[in-house]
Amino acid sequence: MNRRVVVTGAGIISPLGDSPQAVFSSICEGRSALGDVTLFSTDLMDGAQAGEIKDFLPQPYLGKKNFRPLDRTGRLTAAAVQMTLDNSGWTVEMREENLVGLILGTMFGGLHTIAEFDRLGLTAGPKFVKPLDFANTVINAASGQTAIWHTLRGVNSTISTGGSASLQALAYGMDLIRSGRSDVLVSGGTDELCFESMYGFYRAGMLAGSISGQSACSTPFDIQRNGFATSEGAAFTLLEDHQFAVDRGVSTQAEILGYGSGYDYSQGKDENIAVKARAQAIQVALDDARLTADQIDIVSASANGSKLNDRYEAMALLRCIDLENVPVMAVKSSLGDSLGASGAMQVVLLIEAMKQSLSPGIQTMSKADPDFSMLENNIQNRPVEIRYALANAVSADGNCCAVVLKNISDE
């Protein structure tokens, strides 16, 4: 079976807003998600900035309910999934009648909950750890909680491949529908901002400005880049079998045509292997979509300001795509890196780019590396008619995923 997979709804919660249009506009206006962190102290991190969803509360999205069972990751997930279900018209009644799946990409799950659970056990003794928190120490907790919250009884899976997680989740979900195993599912990702992960990145010298003496530059592809800025959020798309969507009379936004994935087994240490793995994923995605590279109208890059990874991605794209002429958007320039959620954010914003025929600029970029200086063409917003788009997501250690989308809003 080889069914067509379409997107009929999307939802996003990010430091730059909670609708695809709002986030897209913010990026086009050159706004940044990065700021001082209020969730925890960054004193140990030289006051590094991050993308925090300030004053996030689940009630405006989910109503007045008991939220104790959900931690921040669970709340972000449930809230973003609610919006996705709403704007694709999947009511509670319909979810009770049909098996709607949920594929969640996340790098850490509820890491803060895991750590707090453990620390309470150390300080108060194992007798007093919290049962409700234990339920959230499994990495698939948010997926399970959200399924309960929204009556999602189809395939429930969690994908953790680092920064590529929610794009891998989309690919996984696409395969389930394409093969006939599922008719409809929500696919996307969530990662929360927390001390444990941010400090971990800082200790490894991966955050922009975490090597002493450098001022932070987390601009993708910029020649001055010295690391990324962590962020948080959740983003989802509603995927359906095309015929199913047509039969229920809902408008379709985009079609997922194909994907490719692979692994840089040098884990960033060997440029040849790193670039090859990324390029292979992109080529397989194009082949799967039955397209040639010259048909791609826009690329959404994974780049986040990492010295090496941005280079590897650029060099891989150079092998396949005409970067002189094809716009490249790199939303982490504005949003920061929301890790497991980032791939889904890229897709949601790509769909918005399709609607608005506009590629948001990488406005903080001044100059790119000489090897890919043509990417400087993307500093400003670029009008572009988009029929086919390529989304690329790569984790810090080289887990690559590329997805090809088609604009079918005119079908």
Stretch 110-129 residues interacting with other proteins (CB under 8 A) = 111, 114-115, 117-119, 121-129
Single residue of 87, 199, 295, 364 touching other proteins by CB under 8 A: 199
Nearer to other proteins, 220 or 260 (CB): 260
Residue numbers 362-401 binding other proteins by CB under 8 A: 395-399
DSSP 372-389: GGGGGGGSS-EE---SEE
Nearer to other proteins, 86 or 196 (CB): 196
- The nearest distance, CB 139 to other proteins, in angstroms, is 4
Single residue of 92, 204, 211, 308 touching other proteins by CB under 8 A: 204
CA dist 240 and 101 (Å) reads: 10
Residue 158 host element (H or E) = strand 156-159
Single residue of 86, 98, 200, 307 touching other proteins by CB under 8 A: 200
Nearer to other proteins, 24 or 172 (CB): 172
Tokens of 175: 């395969």
Helices (H), 20-71: 20-28, 59-62
Tokens of 12: 């996003």
C-alpha radius of gyration, the chain, whole number: 20
Nearer to other proteins, 203 or 290 (CB): 203
Residue numbers 120-179 binding other proteins by CB under 8 A: 121-132, 134-135, 137-141, 143-145, 147-148, 150-162, 165, 168, 172, 175, 179
Main-chain phi, psi angles of 408, to 5 degrees = -120, 25
Q: Which range binds other proteins by CB under 8 A, 100-108, 236-244, 358-366, 377-385? A: 100-108
CA dist 221 and 195 (Å) reads: 27
Tokens of 51: 């993308």
206 touches 396 (CB < 8 A): yes
- The nearest distance, CB 154 to other proteins, in angstroms, is 7
Residue numbers 267-296 binding other proteins by CB under 8 A: 267, 273, 276-277, 280, 284
CA dist 215 and 136 (Å) reads: 37
Tell me how far the alpha carbon of residue 95 is from its chain's centroid. Answer: 25
How many C-beta atoms surround the C-beta of residue 33 within 10 A?
A: 27
Nearer to other proteins, 87 or 283 (CB): 283
Residue numbers 206-235 binding other proteins by CB under 8 A: 206
Nearer to other proteins, 262 or 360 (CB): 262
Strand partners, 364: none
359 touches 28 (CB < 8 A): no
Residue numbers 2-41 binding other proteins by CB under 8 A: none
* # residues near other proteins by CB under 8 A: 87
Single residue of 11, 51, 109, 227 touching other proteins by CB under 8 A: 109
How many C-beta atoms surround the C-beta of residue 297 within 10 A?
A: 20
Nearer to other proteins, 65 or 290 (CB): 65
CA within 13 Å, CB half, 91: 5
The answer to the question of residue 47 lying near other proteins (CB under 8 A) is no
Single residue of 21, 38, 44, 371 touching other proteins by CB under 8 A: 44
Residue numbers 301-340 binding other proteins by CB under 8 A: none
Q: Which of 205, 163, 220 is nearest to 338 (CA)?
A: 163
Nearer to other proteins, 201 or 236 (CB): 201
